Structure 1
Amino acid sequence: MVAGAKTPQNNSEDVPLYTQSSSPLHVTYDAINHIYPNGKQSSKANNSVTYWRLLSENSNFRWFLLSYLVTTAGEWLSYVASIATIEQIQSSNGSISRTSISILVIIRLLPSSLFAPIGGTLADSYDRRKIMFMLDGMGALVAWLYVLSYSLESIAALYSATLLQMTVAALYDPCHSAIVPMIVQKEDSLEKVMILVSSAGELMQAVGSSIGGLLIGIVGIQYCFIIDSFSYLASALLIWKISGEYNPVESNEATVAMNEKAESSTEVEESWYSLPNFTEMTKEGISYLVSQSWGAFVLLKFFAALIYGAGDVLNVSFSEQGEGSSKINLGSSSQRLGILFAFVGVGCVLGPIIIEPCTHMDKISSLERACLISYFLMALGCYGLWQFDGFILICIFSAVRSAGSNIVWVYSSLLLQKLSSASMRGRVFGVDYALAMLSESASALLAGVLQDDAGLSAAQVSLIMAIVAVVTLVMWSVYFSREWKAMQTNRSNI
C-alpha cells in the first residue's frame, strides 16, 4: 500500500487537486471545488494575508526564518572563501583551471542527489525540528575542516570538507521544506510564506557572498570559515526556540490521512516507529510520485537546473574579466565575484515578489504560468550575457536570469506543497531536490569543460544555456497547454 495514495475525506491539505483519469494527461480538477467551494472567498483570504502579519503573529515562523537566514549567509560566505582558496592555491602554482571550480560546484550539488531522498525519509519519520537542530550541530563541526584544508593548502581537503558540509545540507533541506506547512498551517498563507522564505534566503545569499568578498581582503579566508561554523551554532539555537512537536507520524496532518482503516493505520505506525527501512520508504515515495498525475512537476526544477546550474562557474569567469571595455576599477576578482553574487541574490528576491500578484493558490494554472515565465526570464538573462559586454551589464542580466531561476524554484515547490500528501511530503521533496541537484551538477561540469577543453568563452556558454532555456520553455508550454485544454474539457462535461 502506498502511504497517502488514497484521498482522505475530511483533510483539505491531503486532498490531491489532480486525480487520475482517462484523459491524455490524466488531469482533472474535480477536487478543486471540494477544497475551495468558494474561489472568491479564497482569493480574499489570500489578499488579507501580509508579510508583516506572518512575521508578527507566528513566533515559531520568525525563529524558523531567522535560522534559515543565518545558515544561508554562513554557507555562502564559506562558498566564496572556498573559491578564493582554490584560486590562491592555483595562482601559487602558476595555473588557473575552470574545471577545478566546476568540481567544487559539483561536489556542492551531488550530495543532494544521493542523500536528499534519505533526508526526505528522515523528515517523514522523526520530529523535523529535532533533525534540523542535530544537523546544524554537525554542520558547525564540519566547518572547521575548511580551516584545516586552508592551513594545509590542499584543494583535495577542501573538496572533502565541502562534500561533508553538503551531505549535511542534503539531509537538512527536505526537513526544511516539509516543516513549513506544519509551522504555518493556513493554506491561504502558504504562497507568501514560500516567497518570503525564498526571497529572504536569496537576500542573505547576496549578503553572505558580497560580505565574503570583502572579508577575504580584510580578515582573511580562514576567518570566513570560522564565522560559518558559528553561524551553524546560531541557527541551532534559533531552531531550538521553535515550540511544539513536528513529527508527521504523530500529527493530525499525517494520521487523518491514514484513518480509514484501523488495521492499515496500525501497520503504518509500526513501520514508522521501528528502525526505518530507508530503501522501502524511498521506493514508496517514488511509487507515490509515479502514481500521481502531477508527478511530472518534480521535473520543473530538473530542467531549470540545466540552465542556471552553469551560473556559478560562469560567474567566476565573468568576475575575472573585470570591467571589459570600461575603465572603472571594481577591485579584485573576489570583490567582483561578491558583487556579481549580490546581483544574483537581488534578482532572486525580486523575481517571486514581482510575479506574486499574478498568481493565486486556488488556481493551479496561475502557478504553472509563473513557471513558464521563469523559463522566459532565464532565456532572456542568458541571451543578454552572450550579447552584451561590460561588468555592469553582466550583473544586470545575471539578476534577470536568477529572477527566473528563483521563480521556478518557488512555484514548483508551491505546486508540490499543495498537491502532495502531508505524510509523503518529505520524500516528494527529497526526490525533487535530488533530481534538481543532479541536473545542476551536470550543467556546472559542462560549463567548466566547455571553457577549459572546448575553448569557449563564458559568453558563448551563456548562449548555449539560452538555447536550452528556449527549448525547455517550448516543451513545458506544450505540456501545460494540453493540460489546460483537458481541464476545459472536463469542466464542460460537468
Structure 2
Amino acid sequence: KKHRRVAYITLHKAALVLFFGAPLEVVSVAIARDIFVIGEGGSLSLGLMYAMAGVGTGVGPIFARRYTGDRIAALCSAVALAYGVAAVGLWIVGTLYSLQIVLLGIFIRACGSGILWVFSSQILLQVVPGEVRGRVFSTEYALVTLMSAVGAGLGGQYLEFFTIANAVHWMASVTMLPGILWLWWLMRNSMGKDDEYLFPVK
C-alpha cells in the first residue's frame, strides 16, 4: 500500500503531458497560424505563447511554495489545486477573445503545470529512499516520454473533431479528471493525518 502511494505521485507528470501539456502545444500552433497571426505563419505569436508558458512554469511553484514549505501534506494539496488552476487557464485560452487573453490563460495554465511538476518531484525526493530513487525517477521519465507522444496525437485528433475553441475547452474538462481523483484519494487517506501517514516509505 505504501508503494502504491509513491506510484500515484509518479503518475502526475504523465497525466500533465497527456491531458493538457502535449495537446496544448499542438493546438497552440493552430491558434498562432489560423487565429492570431503575428509574424511569418504566426511564428511571433507562437513564440509569445511559449514565452508566457515558460514564465508561468517558473512563477507558479515559487509563489505556491511560500505557503506549502516542505510539508508533504501541503505539497499534496497544492498538486490537487494545480489541476484546477491549469483547467481555469485552459478555459480562458479557449475563449480566444484576444491574443492578450490567450496569453493570460496560457500563463495561468503554466502556473498550474509548474506547481504540479515541481511539487510532485519534491515529494518524491523527500519520501523515496536513495537506493531506489533512480528507478523511480527513470520510470517517471519513461511514462512522461510515452504520454507526451500519446498526448501530441490526441491534440491532433482534437483538431480533427472539434473547433479550436472546443478543443481547448475539452482539454480543460479532462484536466479536472486526474485532479478530482487525486483530491478524492487525499480526502480518503489524509484527513486529519500527518505527513508520515501519507507517505510512510522510509
C-alpha separation in 1, matches of 2:50 and 2:4:
37
Please name the residue that 2:15 is paired with: 303
Please name the residue that 1:376 is paired with: 84
Determine whether 1:352 maps to 2:61. yes
Residues 417 and 314 of structure 1: CA distance in aligned 2, closer, same or farther (over 3 Å): same
- Asked if structure 1 preserves the Cα contact closer than 8 Å seen for 2:32 and 2:38, the reply is no
What amino acid is aligned across from residue 402 of structure 1 in structure 2? A
Judging by fraction of residues, say which structure has more helix.
Answer: 2
Shift of 1:322: 4.3
Please name the residue that 1:312 is paired with: 25
Pairing partner for 1:450 from 152, 155, 158: 158
Shift of 1:380: 0.3
What amino acid is aligned across from residue 16 of structure 2 in structure 1? A
Query: Which 5+ residue runs of structure 1 have no aligned equivalent?
Result: 1-25, 28-290, 324-328
Identity of counterpart residues, as a percentage?
25
Shift of 1:292: 5.6
Residues 422 and 346 of structure 1: CA distance in aligned 2, closer, same or farther (over 3 Å): same
State the TM-score, normalized to the length of structure 2: 0.87
Shift of 1:331: 2.7
C-alpha separation in 2, matches of 1:321 and 1:293:
43
Q: How many correspondences in the alignment?
A: 194
SS of the equivalent of 2:191 reads helix
Determine whether 1:469 maps to 2:183. no
C-alpha separation in 1, matches of 2:92 and 2:69:
31
Shift of 1:486: 7.0
Over alpha carbons, which structure has the higher Rg? 1
1:240-282 CA distance string (max 9 Å, x none)? xxxxxxxxxxxxxxxxxxxxxxxxxxxxxxxxxxxxxxxxxxx
Query: Which runs of structure 1 show a deviation greater than 3 angstroms over 4 or more consecutive aligned residues?
Result: none
Query: Which 5+ residue runs of structure 2 have no aligned equivalent?
Result: 198-202
Determine whether 1:409 maps to 2:117. yes
Q: C-alpha root-mean-square deviation of aligned residues, in Å?
A: 2.0
Please name the residue that 1:483 is paired with: 189
Please name the residue that 1:286 is paired with: none
Please name the residue that 1:428 is paired with: 136
- Asked if structure 1 preserves the Cα contact closer than 8 Å seen for 2:56 and 2:109, the reply is yes
C-alpha separation in 2, matches of 1:400 and 1:486:
31
**Per chain length, whose mean CA-contact separation is higher, i.e. which structure has more relative contact order (CA < 8 Å, sep 6+)?**
2
C-alpha separation in 1, matches of 2:154 and 2:55:
26
Q: Structure 2 matches for 1:170-181, cutoff 5 A?
A: none
Please name the residue that 2:6 is paired with: 294
State the TM-score, normalized to the length of structure 1: 0.37
